[in-house]
Chains A and B, each alone.
Chain A
Amino acid sequence: EDKVVQSPLSLVVHEGDTVTLNCSYEVTNFRSLLWYKQEKKAPTFLFMLTSSGIEKKSGRLSSILDKKELFSILNITATQTGDSAVYLCAVTPTSGTYKYIFGTGTRLKVLA
């Protein structure tokens, strides 16, 4: 059965800290891994990774994929209170129809 596991489940940091969120997966025939940010509404897309070892970066956020060890990390540097959210990881398998399998998410709280 395809599975996505995120850790930690929750995290509290202070503004300016750097955080690393983890996503490991077991999926038959991996296609891609995606990261989303969810505040009090719909998840919004951050990154999609398909190739191992290539970092995707957007401002203070970056992510990298390791297809050999079956995991990805999402880094946030110089955290701000606006980074407080649930961060969701999803994978898409190549087998069957195109669909997204999500992990349970990591709840990040950034204190001022």
Chain B
Amino acid sequence: DAGITQSPRHKVTETGTPVTLRCHQTENHRYMYWYRQDPGHGLRLIHYSYGVKDTDKGEVSDGYSVSRSKTEDFLLTLESATSSQTSVYFCATAAGESEAFFGQGTRLTVV
């Protein structure tokens, strides 16, 4: 299995507070992705990265920002958390032209 670690695994935060989720990989994969998973919606792409400092928006990027300063790390930040951002967040990585590998997920609850 690809070495992908997400932290934290669980978080409860209050509305309006900033939150940062971290994804760390040991596979030297070029591509990294953040998805959210909600009932009835499957996996929806938030942001992705195709190299250090190279990122782009996915289909549900509003309210989220990302940064990738090193190949290994991809951070997802909720600038001001809202209840609609309560979800399970998955990080994934890929070498390209192949399958993506997923982290174990972060369950975020915004109260």
> How far apart are the CA atoms of A103 and B58 in the complex, in Å?
15
Q: Tell me if A45 and B99 are in contact (CB < 8 A).
A: yes
Contacting residues of chain B (40-58) with chain A, CB-CB under 8 angstroms: 40-45, 48, 50, 56, 58
Tell me the A residues contacting B by CB distance below 8 Å: 6, 34, 41-45, 48, 88, 90, 97-105
> In this assembly, does B74 line the interface, its C-beta being within 8 Å of a C-beta of chain A?
no
Q: Tell me if A42 and B103 are in contact (CB < 8 A).
A: yes
* B contacts with A: majority SS: strand
Tell me the B residues contacting A by CB distance below 8 Å: 31, 33, 35, 40-45, 48, 50, 56, 58, 90, 92, 94, 96-105
**A contact residues around B31 at 8 Å (CB):** 97-99
Q: Tell me if A42 and B45 are in contact (CB < 8 A).
A: no
Could you list 11 further interchain pairs (A-B, Cβ under 8 angstroms) beyond the known A42-B90, A42-B105, A104-B42? A42-B104, A45-B99, A45-B101, A99-B48, A99-B58, A100-B92, A100-B100, A101-B45, A102-B43, A102-B45, A104-B40
- Can you name 29 A-B pairs with beta carbons within 8 Å? A34-B99, A34-B100, A41-B104, A41-B105, A42-B90, A42-B102, A42-B103, A42-B105, A43-B102, A44-B102, A45-B99, A45-B100, A45-B101, A48-B98, A48-B99, A97-B48, A97-B50, A98-B50, A98-B94, A98-B96, A99-B33, A99-B45, A99-B58, A100-B45, A100-B92, A102-B42, A102-B43, A102-B44, A104-B42
